[in-house]
Every structure is written in C-alpha cells, then in structure tokens.
A and B are shown apart, each in its own frame.
Chain A
Amino acid sequence: MATEILMPALSPTMEEGTLAKWLVKEGDTVSAGDILAEIETDKATMEFEAVDEGTIGKIMVSEGSEGVKVNTPIAVLVEEGEDVPADTQAEAPAKAEPDTAPAAAPAQATAPAPAAPKTDTSPDWPDGTETRKQTVRESLRDAMAEEMRRTQEVFVMGEEVAEYEGAYKITQGLLDEFGAKRVIDTPITEHGFAGIGVGAAFGGLRPIVEFMTFNFAMQAIDQILNSAAKTLYMSGGQMGCPIVFRGPNGAAARVGAQHSQCYAAWYSAIPGLKVVMPYSASDAKGLLKQAIRDPNPVIFLENEILYGKSFDVPVLDDFTIPFGKARIERAGDDVTIVSFGIGMTYALEAAERLAADGINAEVINLRTIRPMDTDTILASVMKTNRLVTVEEGYPQSSVGNFITSVVMENAFDHLDAPVINLCGKDVPMPYAANLEKLALVTTDEVVEAAHKVTYR
C-alpha cells in the first residue's frame, strides 16, 4: 500500500517551506527515523525523518522547490515490490504565492486604493524611490544592523539572539557582523537581563533587549515600568533610559493562553514609555530604527505571523518613520477603521470586501500606540462620522476604548453611530483550532461592524 509523504509543518506558524535537499532518491529503502530531506522554514533548516519503512517510489517535489505548502505530497513511499500508483504525478515546484485560502494567517496586504482627495495616503518615502520586497523579519534585522553600524553604543541582548541567531531568526547574521561583545546571548532570566539592560542604558549605552516573546516580559515588567519608564521623571530630568524592548507580541498560532496575549493596551497605559506596533515591513524597519534612536524606553511589539510576510521597503540609506504619525493605508468616506499591527490585515481585507458592497472604508494604521496620532483619527472621523477600531487584545481597557474616549471628547457631534471596538474575545486564548479562531478578531467581524455603523 503506497503512502504519500506530506510536507510537514515544523513550527506553529509555518504554512509553507523550501524543500532544500533530498537525502534519499527514488528506489532507496528507508526505515523509520531515517532522514529523508532537509526542509527550510522561515526560521530554520530542519531535518525531516521517515515515520514508516518502505521504498521511495517517487519523489514528487524536487529539491530547491520554494513555497511548498504544508501537507502537499512530496514523495510516495511504497512497500517492497509495489509499483508507484499511476495517478501520482510529480507536481511542478510551487512558487511562493500569497495564501489565498481563508486560513488562520491572513493574506498579504493589498495595495491601497486610489487616494480620495485631500487624504494623504502617500508612502513614507519620496516619490520615485526604488523599493524592494522584503519580509518583516529581514527588515527588522536590517534596522538593527544599520543602527549598530551607525552607533557603537547600540548592542542587542536576549535569549538565543547570538549563536542561535534568534528564536525567530530576527537577529540572523548579527553575531557574525558585530561579534559577541555586541550580540549577547543571555541565560533564561528575563527579570535579570531586562534590569541589566536598563542599568546599561543608565550607564550610557543603547541596549536592544529582545524578549523571545512579550509573554515572557511579564517576568521583567517591574524593571520596564518602575526602572525604565519612571526614572527620567523621578530624577527631575537627569537620568534617561534609552532602551528598546522588542519581540513578538500577541497570538501566534495554536500556542495557547500563556503564549498568546497582546500587550499594546498594557504598556500604552504607562507614561514614560513609547509603544510601537508595526504592521508592514517598511513600518518595521523605519520604526525600529527610530526606536533605537529614541532617547526613551520604547516597547516594540512585533508579531510572529507577520514576520514572514513580504512588503515593499524603500531602498534608502537611512529610512526612519517618526513616532506619533499614523498612516492612512486606504482612503474612504463612509467609515473609519483604525487598527495597528496584525489587526491591519483584518482591517484591510475588510475594506476590500466592503468596497465590493459599496462602502468606502478609510483604514488608519496607527503604528505608534503611544504617542498616538489622534489628530489623524479625529480628522478621519469628522469626515466619515463612523468609527470601528480593530485589535487583538482583550476588550476591557483596550486601545480602542481609549480611542473612543478621545473621539467622544473631541468629535462627539460628528458621530452618526456608536463607535465599535473590535477586540480579541474576553477569554484566555484556547488551544483548540476552532476555539482559537473564535477567540481572535476576524475580517468578518470588521465587515459586520462597518455595516452596522453605516446602517447599510
């Protein structure tokens, strides 16, 4: 009985990978545990083992194929003397294409619609600037490398940042270029190394502290709030703390309650902190460079699911995005949708679908949660008279709640419908795939909310 060998999922967020190398050929006999192939995920190159014994009857995906979707048959294993079934055909190597299926991970952002008059949706770089496709992961790495080249005081520390090149491969290549003095592996000791980072900033350095995820930063939150955020004030302006705390934040995929939590609202409540949450690769690059240069403690909230997504990034020697400047990703007159980080994927998908229904949504990518560009939100709400906010965090005391209060105080008379704050559900993140999907905010909910506030 022939068995198909399928492209394996080798990490919680892996959707596709590269079949880097076959270590067996057609006709080879294999036993369970033999290494069949090397598969490159977005994070690492992994060896893929046989789970059954048999003979490799057919290799269906040739080595070097990129963008092979998880669960694609890559080979056929036959029993001794058995023929390869006739209906098995080698697939053409799949090309890396955006996932169009309505899976947990959303598709890439669509290009912004033509701008409505007077609404500035221009990119963050001058007209005519060359751009290239880059993943969020690569742009974060480039941002750090550029700033480390620029300033000797900048160094990066955290768990697995050096020799392992980052648990999520964000610090890939940094150890090679900058050496162990400036790319520092720490023991698993968040409270301790966060405090050492803050002390180093007091001592005149510019640390980038990577948390493997922001869930682990809970161990260090005293150092972030009490030591980093408050010292400038408590010292009457004498002693600042230029430091970046960065790492993935929010839900990844199927990692359960303790690893799936958005901290945007938490940190944005704290005076003295700046809180950044990039969506695209250009956001990630421009904002991280800005964060490293900022003289204050910056919480830089990344997203694991976005790491592998590609976007246009300008080819510029020194590209930064100022804090407190939202970007209107899509202009529209009927409803304002404000989001940030991965929430933007739902907001933009919804806007696309709403356009088909004749509703033109204006989509604002907040980018920095603190300081917040409330002017852009207010100007948009005064035009559309309706507001939906979208985020993955919990609903009580959400970022959306704050935006709503700002709009109520400053544009109450412009509102034609109650504001809707879309958030993750008010539950710890469940593990079960169906429940996890329900716990997260969805594109459908954004579409529905926009219909509700427009009464259409």
Chain B
Amino acid sequence: MATRKSTAKSNVSADELLGYYRDMLLIRRFEEKAGQLYGMGLIGGFCHLYIGQEAVVVGLEAAAKEGDKRVTSYRDHGHMLACGMDPKGVMAELTGREGGYSKGKGGSMHMFSKEKHFYGGHGIVGAQVPLGAGLAFSDMYKENDNVTFAYFGDGAANQGQVYETYNMAMLWSLPVIFVIENNKYAMGTSVQRATKSPSLWERGAAYGIAGEEVDGMDVLAVKAAGEKAVAHCRARKGPYILEIMTYRYRGHSMSDPAKYRTRDEVQKMREERDAIEHVRELLLQGKHASEEDLKAVDKEIKGIVNDAAEFAKESPEPAVDELWTDIYAAEVPQNA
C-alpha cells in the first residue's frame, strides 16, 4: 500500500548523469527559444512552457523501456523531447508549419508520435487521465509488460474523471503510473486554495492505489521513484501514483502575468532548487565532467535548438488542402 516519501537514489553512471544533464538542458533551452519565438509572433495561441519541471520527465523516461507509453496535458513540450521526439518537428508544430508533428494542425497542445508512443498533448484538463488508463488497458489486453505514464498537474488532480479512472485502474489492475506534476499552481490558483487535502497522492489510498511523494527537483530521486513504480506496474500489481513536487518558473501560459506569487518565491526556487544546477554540481563535484565538457554540451544543445528554430521558421505553412484531410481515416490505423 501507500509508502512514505521516497528517499532512494538510483545508482547511475557518469555517462547517464551527463545524459540527464543534456536532456534537461535541451528542454530548458528549447523552451526559452519557444518563448522567444512566441514573442516574435511566430508561435500563436496558447504556449505553456515547461521550464523548471525538466527533472520530472527526464527522470521518468530514464525508468522507461521501449514500448512504454506516455500521455500528458497541454504543457507537453518537455515530455516530447524527453521521449526522443525530434526538436525540429516539435518546434515546427509550435509555429504551425508543415514540418510539425501534426503537419501544423495540432499546435502546442496537441501533438502525437506513434513512433515514440507519445499519445498527446491534450488540451482539456484531466481528459488525458482516462486515456492513459485506456492505453494501459490495451497493453494488459495484449498481455505484454508495457506500462503507461499518465501525466497530469495538481489542477487536473481535482477533476472528477481522475477518480473514476483511479477506481477502474485499480479494479482492473491496469499498468498505469499516474504522475501528478505538482508545480504548486493550477494557472493562478495555488494548491492550498484549491483543496484541503494535505497531499494529492494520498487520495489514491481511497481506491487502494499505492503511491508516494517525490522530490521533482532531483532527477535521481525521480528516476528511483519511477523505477519503483514501473516495477510495481510490470509485476501486475496495479497502478501507482507519483506525486512529483516541482515548480514552473514561467507563467501558466505566455499571457500569464503571474501576480499570484512573488518574484522572490520564484527566484528562491531557481537559486536553491534548480534541477539542472543540481546535476551540474553533481557532475563537477564528482569529477564526472569538467567545465569544458559541460560547455561542449551547452554548445551542442544550443546548436540543436537553433536548428529547430530555423527549421520551424523555414518550414512552409501546411498546404491549403490540408484543411480537409485527416478528418476521417480510410482504414484502421495501426496505432500500436
């Protein structure tokens, strides 16, 4: 049943640690670039940045294997990069271009990759939770050992369908990991202003679902918790809840003035708890990498992000004919 806050650490090699640093940095630089392109009018509509939360997806992807599935909300850029989707295709989708993952027809909030088992990108808060359980259902039905990561935020955690899903996921022992990315604010409403529950993962206990709270600013803690959750699901013990305590540095979306929290609060988190800085220190202090090594990584990432931005600007808008395609499938899609 329920366990306390995880303090376990994964044993990771220097190469793996450097890999997490690189993956987290890619997300951060990508998001910063997306913010710039938004400011330039190249990205429209809603754009929800993942800056500050990078350790969540990078840590959990480190615990996943080929065939595992993931589904999330509209704050999805980090998840896509972490599961190996091409930054060019993601950025070109943000700019609404032909080269985007959805040919420009989905946008920031609605992107998918069959190849990488990434099932969206969903714009309705909480809707992805039953979808994630359904994906897990499909794997259980096919009798394989894949698991599904169903990500949602502290805001979605108050939606009714989450609890309908908890109930059925436990009833049917679905191999789904419910990942609550608790970044403390549902748009402008702090967790404390939305619920009297002292913690969100403990709500699973009402359905018999095990879970734990995880330090989301520590990629190794996330990975360790992810491994535990994955093992639980693969052993057909039913779903598992990870409430990952994290923080978003930017506003809810690009148009959020963030008056609901102080500048000091954000600054303190950046200075004291930044996930990327944490790994950087581990690498340097453990002498797993030199300043030079890390500079080389920074440079590589900068190149990737610049290429992605360039691609996203250069890729043409979708052909006018695309308005009328992909409304109905002509044949049964090979989804999985």
Task: Name A's B-contacting residues (CB within 8 A).
Answer: 155, 181, 184, 186-187, 189, 191-206, 222-223, 226-227, 231-240, 242, 271-272, 274, 293, 295-296
Contacts and interface: CB of A to CB of B under 8 A. Distances in A.
Contact of B164 (A184, A191, A205, A239): A191
A207 to B, nearest CB: 8
A264 to B, nearest CB: 19
B114 interface: yes
Contacts of A195: 127, 129-131, 133-134, 161, 165
B282 to A, nearest CB: 37
Interface stretch (B40-48, B257-265, B300-308, B327-335): B327-335
B1 interface: no
B326 interface: yes
Nearest to A153: B141
Given A155-B141, A235-B112, A187 B131 contact: no
A158 to B, nearest CB: 12
Given A194-B130, A196-B130, A199-B71, A237 B326 contact: yes
Interface stretch (B10-18, B116-124, B193-201, B216-224): B116-124
Nearest to B160: A191
A231 B123 CA distance: 11
Interface in B18-72: 69, 71
Interface stretch (B101-109, B226-234, B267-275, B290-298): B101-109
B110 interface: yes
Contacts of A227: 122, 124, 127, 131
A338 to B, nearest CB: 23
B103 A189 contact: no
B335 A198 contact: no
A203 B112 contact: no
A203 B134 contact: yes
B106 A235 contact: yes
Given A191-B161, A204-B334, A232-B329, A196 B102 contact: no
B325 interface: yes
A199 B329 contact: no
A234 B69 contact: no
Nearest to A190: B164
B328 A232 contact: yes
B190 interface: no
Contacts of A295: 328-333
A381 to B, nearest CB: 27
A236 B103 contact: yes
Most buried by B among A155, A186, A203, A205: A203
Contact of A189 (B119, B168, B333): B168
Closest 8 CB pairs of A and B: A199-B134, A195-B130, A203-B138, A192-B164, A204-B336, A240-B333, A236-B103, A236-B102
B139 to A, nearest CB: 7
Contacts of A238: 101-102, 112-114, 333
Given A201-B335, A237-B103, 4 more contacts: A191-B161, A195-B134, A195-B165, A236-B106
B171 interface: yes
Contacts of A233: 105, 326-327
Most buried by B among A201, A238, A240, A296: A238
10 contacts: A189-B168, A192-B133, A192-B161, A195-B161, A199-B135, A200-B137, A223-B127, A235-B111, A295-B331, A295-B332
B62 to A, nearest CB: 23
Nearest to A242: B332
A189 B130 CA distance: 11
B315 interface: no
A215 B132 CA distance: 25
A202 B335 contact: yes
B167 interface: yes
Contact of B120 (A194, A197, A231): A231
Given A196-B133, A199-B138, A231-B120, A240 B161 contact: no
A45 B123 CA distance: 47
A201 B71 CA distance: 14
A222 B124 contact: yes
A105 B114 CA distance: 49
Contacts of B101: 235-236, 238
Contacts of A234: 102, 105-106, 110, 112, 120-121
A272 B105 CA distance: 14
Given A187-B171, A189-B167, A199-B134, A236 B326 contact: yes
Contacts of B105: 233-234, 236
A204 B132 CA distance: 13
A236 B129 CA distance: 22
A239 B130 contact: no
Contacts of B69: 203
B153 interface: no
A193 B335 contact: no
Contacts of A191: 130, 160-161, 164
Contacts of A237: 103, 325-326, 329
Nearest to A293: B332
Contacts of A181: 141
A199 B122 CA distance: 12
Given A234-B105, A239-B333, A240-B335, A199 B167 contact: no
B100 interface: yes
Nearest to B111: A235
A196 B168 contact: yes
B130 A199 contact: yes
A199 B133 contact: yes
A231 B110 CA distance: 8
A202 B325 contact: no
B200 to A, nearest CB: 18
Contacts of A235: 101-102, 106, 110-112, 120, 326
A143 to B, nearest CB: 18
B328 A274 contact: yes
A206 B138 CA distance: 10
Nearest to B133: A196
A218 to B, nearest CB: 13
A271 B327 contact: yes
B96 to A, nearest CB: 12
Contacts of A192: 130, 133, 161, 164-165, 167-168
Given A196-B165, A240-B335, A222 B127 contact: yes
Contact of B132 (A187, A197, A199): A199
Contacts of B134: 195-203
Given A232-B326, A238-B114, A240-B329, A226 B124 contact: yes
A342 to B, nearest CB: 27
Nearest to A240: B333
B10 to A, nearest CB: 29
A226 B171 contact: no
B123 A226 contact: yes
A200 B135 contact: yes
B268 to A, nearest CB: 38
B167 A226 contact: no
Most buried by A among B71, B110, B120, B164: B164
